[in-house]
Structure 1
Amino acid sequence: MGTKLISYIMLDGNAREAIAFYQKALDAELYGIQTFGEMPESPEFTMPEEAKGLVSHAMIKVGDSELMFSDAFPGHSPERGNQVQICISSADVAQSQKFFDALQEGGTVIMPLAETFFSPAYGMVTDQFGVTFQLYTEGKEEC
């Protein structure tokens, strides 16, 4: 698979409501939903109780396109206008690194590109124009 861009909607605790709305409004199929509480535990981080039921990642399919969702982690609420992000999905770590390096020039790294439990290379960066990108490299079982 080549590179593709996927819209990623960040919400403030109402991702499930938005997913249900878009499923109905856009005749979409739910592909998966995971909460922060379902993520693997980390010895370096204790998950706050108020985060456990929030959506950490979900995806619906609308025709041939995907739309992804997440609730913002407590304390990191999105503001109206910045809740839609672009997820760049690639099958190649080197390609993800190239995109990440280019996008961070003049921008701000939110999460360094690194291996996670769901991707061999995942990171987030806001570019110099204020657009936030998530770089997702395929290669691990999707969440």
Structure 2
Amino acid sequence: MSLQLSPYLMMNGNGKEVIEFYKKALDAEILYYQSLGNMCENSDYPIPEEAKELVGYASLKIGNSILMLSDSHPGQPHQIGNQVTICITADDNEKCKQIFEALQDNGGQVIMPLQKAPISPSYGIVTDRFGVTFQIYTKMQQ
């Protein structure tokens, strides 16, 4: 079983600018990029026209590390201080479920229940009892 932890940045509509900045400042390489409109075009949650060009999901390689980021979805509040989360990636749905449940134990708060999402067969967001927010997801099978 594979398990990976990566920083995940939630931006306030300036995700493209952040990507360009990190490309120059940190010699980042774009591994993956998808706009919010393309990512959610068949979603049950329609994206307003003005938000379709926002960053839906991007991953950047910086040295030997991966940095993930996206713009906040319309209607989700963006708070300075909460824009950095830790993304836990596993290759097994059961492992994701186990981690998700363990992090919500003893006072953790579910932000988004573990569910199927456009980027993963199992994706959810939980804040542990210490106030650290984690995005948990299973890798898509290639």
- Which TM-score applies when normalising by structure 2? 0.91
1:75–1:115: structure 2 CA closer, same or farther, 3 Å change rule? Answer: closer
- Give the secondary structure class of the aligned counterpart of 1:128: coil
State how 1:118-137 maps to structure 2 within 5 Å: 118-137=119-138
Structure 1: which amino acid aligns with 2:61?
Answer: K
The residue number in structure 2 matching 1:31 is 31
Structure 2: which amino acid aligns with 1:115?
Answer: K
Moved over 3 A (4+): none
Structure 2: which amino acid aligns with 1:96?
Answer: C
State how 1:33-52 maps to structure 2 within 5 Å: 33-39=33-39, 40-42=41-43, 44-52=44-52
Stretches of structure 2 lacking an aligned partner (at least 5 in a row): none
| 1-structure distance, mates of 2:51, 2:84 | 20
- The structure with the greater share of residues assigned to strand is 2
**Residue-by-residue CA offset, 1:31-62 (whole Å, 9 max, x unaligned):** 121111102412x3322122211111001001
Instruction: Kindly indicate whether the alpha-carbon contact (under 8 Å) linking 1:11 and 1:77 is maintained by their aligned counterparts in 2.
Output: no
Structure 2: which amino acid aligns with 1:107?
Answer: G
The alignment of Structure 1 onto Structure 2 pairs a total of residues equal to 140
| 2-structure distance, mates of 1:59, 1:45 | 23
The residue number in structure 1 matching 2:18 is 18
The residue number in structure 1 matching 2:53 is 53
Cα RMSD over matched residues? 1.4
**Alpha-carbon offset, residue 120 of structure 1:** 1.7
Stretches of structure 1 lacking an aligned partner (at least 5 in a row): none
1:112–1:129: structure 2 CA closer, same or farther, 3 Å change rule? Answer: same
Structure 1: which amino acid aligns with 2:58?
Answer: A
**Alpha-carbon offset, residue 118 of structure 1:** 2.4
Percent same amino acid among aligned pairs? 51
